[in-house]
Amino acid sequence: MSELILCDSLAPDGSDFSLVGPTGATIPIVSAFSPTCQAGAKFTSELVLKLGVILSPGNYTLRPKKGSDGNSLYDLCNNQQASTDAFRFTVSENNDPLAIKNIYKRSCITKTFLYNRGVQLSTIALDGSDFKVTGPDKDYKIIKAVPGAAYKVPVQCDTILLTDTITVFFNKSPFLPGDYIIDDTIGTDGNPLYDTCDAGMKERIMPITDKGRVDATATTELLCEASYVYLNAEPFNKALPTGYDFRWNPSQFIGDTSASNTLAYVTKTTDYRVQIIDTFSCYGRDTVRVIVSERHPMISPFTDTTICVGEQFDIQLSGAVTYLWSPFTGVSCGDCDSVTLTPTQTTDYTIRFTDKYKCFDDLHLNVTVNPLPIVNVGSDTAIYFGDRAELHNYHRGGVLFSWMPPDGLSALNIPDVFAAPQKATIYTLTVADINGCRNSDSLMVSIMDKYTQLPNAFTPNGDGKNDVFRVANLTTERVQEFRIFNRWGQEVFSSAGAKDGWDGTYKNKPAEMGVYNYVLRIARPDGRVETYRGEVTLIR
């Protein structure tokens, strides 16, 4: 104070003052006292105000006012302090709250906290109740606090003891790793931790990990099938607590779950977890994964197959990353999952299915190839219209027969038939054997034209020999036109009948001897029309 005030004018609850912060809000003042007055003096120039909160950085204004005792402060002349008086001060940025600056010791049950400034020894509860611990392990807490080296600092007319470190003891090792928050609370001594300004402590995150304390390995981390592996746990800190063992999980098919090196039978992909407590009373954990390849090779259709020479069938593969056929003979694609097989002889195929781990399975497929029945119907043949040809299968062994087309055939389902086509026809015989294999052979049956016979002379003298000029060998042919002309071009004969002929007369009188011209048109059974022109000599 700039002048002395009467001790009995000071309200102990601090209500003689009003403190306004940088935001305009009123800061609570919970008490006021003077060390001089407490020593028995009647007046003083020193006052201590205790605030209800920690002041944040900024500008503050302290003003006098009438307190709960009914008056403001009095000077020695009983003059009240003017309400217009004000004391302005600034709290700088470096006025941080009390905080744990560093945490020492690797132990998980003992830690030493180094603070950013001194902690009043008188505010430290030795049972650790000034600290509140929150984190993954709800039962992890501080049960003891031991102050570090103490030193004195002057405060007003007295001194207080401070320490920069506090060593704390936890009730156990934290079972669960993660971030644990260390915060202050009111201890069993009735107060939290205070610095020289009675400022409380800022919370601190204390990370605890179970990594980097033990290394779990396996003799192999990849199996192509269920098998045995050795699991090994190697602590980073070789010295383990006496009598402590290892814990392997899952425990199924493990020889000794409490040994650092143990045998395990692995039937499927498994994450093996090992746990220890090291010399720092910290849980150490690590995991090693042993992969067991699970393969499901599939061939569709998956059955040995019988085919006939020349046939093919499709195969679909699945359950792998790559495929390889052996042998490659008759395989459309040796490394594809969709394959067409066309073997020409009985073959045992091996298909290798390989997965992403390079593990493989070999499946086998037998393809029996039956030969085709031998069919031989002989060479092409020719017949005259109206005649028939005998068709034979010159090799036996078939059980089913089929001749096609049916036109002109005496039968369809026997090996030997007669064919009497009306036009040139290709006949095919298909034979099936007892294995269901089929083969075919064909031949052509052609229709030959009969030679049209016309004499080059005739003698119409009535002796019964060569008296008529006609076509001599017609059977199925039809005469469309038959005309004869004399040397002057006069038509002396005309007919459209197959049996008609010229008897050597013209207008019912014997025609002159000589050479005559003829035109003959004949229609064949297959629809063809042939024209013949020539000369004939009439002799008497």
Q: Are residues 233 and 182 in the same domain?
A: no
Task: Tell me the pLDDT of the chain (540 aa) as tens digits.
Answer: 678 889 999 999 999 999 999 999 999 999 999 888 988 889 988 888 888 887 888 899 999 999 999 998 888 888 888 777 888 888 766 556 789 999 998 788 999 999 998 999 999 999 999 999 999 999 999 999 999 999 988 765 567 899 999 999 999 999 999 999 999 999 999 999 988 766 667 889 999 988 888 899 999 999 999 999 999 998 887 666 555 678 999 999 999 999 989 999 999 999 999 998 877 888 889 999 999 999 999 999 988 999 999 999 999 999 999 999 999 999 999 999 999 999 999 999 999 999 999 999 999 999 999 999 999 999 999 998 888 999 998 887 789 999 999 999 999 999 999 999 988 999 999 999 999 999 999 999 998 877 677 889 999 998 888 999 988 777 778 889 999 999 999 999 999 876 789 999 999 999 999 999 999 998 887 788 889 999 999 998
Q: Are residues 443 and 461 in the same domain?
A: no
Q: Are residues 195 and 130 in the same domain?
A: yes
Contact of 198 with 156, CB cutoff 8 Å: no
State the pLDDT at residue 52.
84
User: Which of 263, 292, 321 marks a domain boundary?
Assistant: 292
Q: Are residues 80 and 109 in the same domain?
A: no
Contact of 419 with 483, CB cutoff 8 Å: no
State the pLDDT at residue 304.
92
Q: Are residues 131 and 168 in the same domain?
A: yes
CA angle, corner 454, sides to 452 and 460, nearest 5?
150
User: Which of 275, 292, 309 marks a domain boundary?
Assistant: 292
Closest CA to 403 of 392, 387, 389, 388: 392
Q: Are residues 104 and 173 in the same domain?
A: yes
Task: Say if strands 29-33 and 48-51 run parallel, antiparallel, or are unpaired.
Answer: antiparallel
Residue 376 in any domain: the answer is no
Q: Is 122 helix (H, G, I), strand (E, B) or coil?
A: helix
Residue 228 in any domain: the answer is yes
CATH of the domain at 121: 2.60.40.1220
Residues 301, 307, 309, 311: what is their CA dihedral angle, to the nearest 10 degrees?
Answer: -50
Cβ-based neighbours of 70, under 8 Å, separated by 6 or more? none
Q: Are residues 39 and 62 in the same domain?
A: yes
Residue 419 in any domain: the answer is yes
Q: pTM here?
A: 0.57
Residue 143 in any domain: the answer is yes
C-alpha span between 356 and 335 (Å, rounded) = 15
Only one residue has tokens 């009983």, namely 78
Ramachandran bin of 94, using left for φ above 0, alpha for ψ from -120 to 50, beta for the remaining angles: alpha
Burial of 492: CB neighbours in 10 Å, binned 0-12, 13-18, 19+: middle
Cβ-based neighbours of 492, under 8 Å, separated by 6 or more? 484, 485, 486, 502, 506, 511, 516
Contact of 55 with 91, CB cutoff 8 Å: yes
Residue 410 in any domain: the answer is yes
Q: What is the DSSP letter of 187?
A: -
- 223, amino acid identity: L
Contact of 274 with 214, CB cutoff 8 Å: yes
DSSP for 101-138, please give it. EEEE-S-SSEEEEEEEEEEEGGG--TTSTTEEEESSST
State the pLDDT at residue 500.
82
Closest CA to 275 of 264, 266, 288, 263: 288
CATH of the domain at 333: 2.60.40.10
Residues 462, 465, 466, 471: what is their CA dihedral angle, to the nearest 10 degrees?
Answer: 120
Task: Say if strands 438-448 and 381-384 run parallel, antiparallel, or are unpaired.
Answer: parallel
Residues spanned by the domain of 78: 5-91
Q: Which two tokens stand for residue 273?
A: 């977890």
User: Which of 193, 208, 223 marks a domain boundary?
Assistant: 208
Q: Is 321 helix (H, G, I), strand (E, B) or coil?
A: coil
Number of folded domains that form the chain:
6
Residue 375 in any domain: the answer is no
- For residue 334, what are the CA distances in angstroms to 302, 310, 317, 338, 340? 18, 19, 12, 10, 10
CATH of the domain at 518: 2.60.40
Strand partners, 283: 277
Task: Say if strands 305-308 and 87-91 run parallel, antiparallel, or are unpaired.
Answer: unpaired
Q: Are residues 107 and 190 in the same domain?
A: yes
Q: Are residues 197 and 169 in the same domain?
A: yes
State the pLDDT at residue 93.
64
Q: Are residues 469 and 534 in the same domain?
A: yes
Q: Are residues 243 and 328 in the same domain?
A: no
* Phi/psi at 228 (5° precision): -95, 145
Q: Are residues 147 and 246 in the same domain?
A: no
State the pLDDT at residue 112.
96
C-alpha span between 372 and 437 (Å, rounded) = 6
- 250, amino acid identity: P
Q: Which two tokens stand for residue 80?
A: 């009240």
Burial of 158: CB neighbours in 10 Å, binned 0-12, 13-18, 19+: exposed
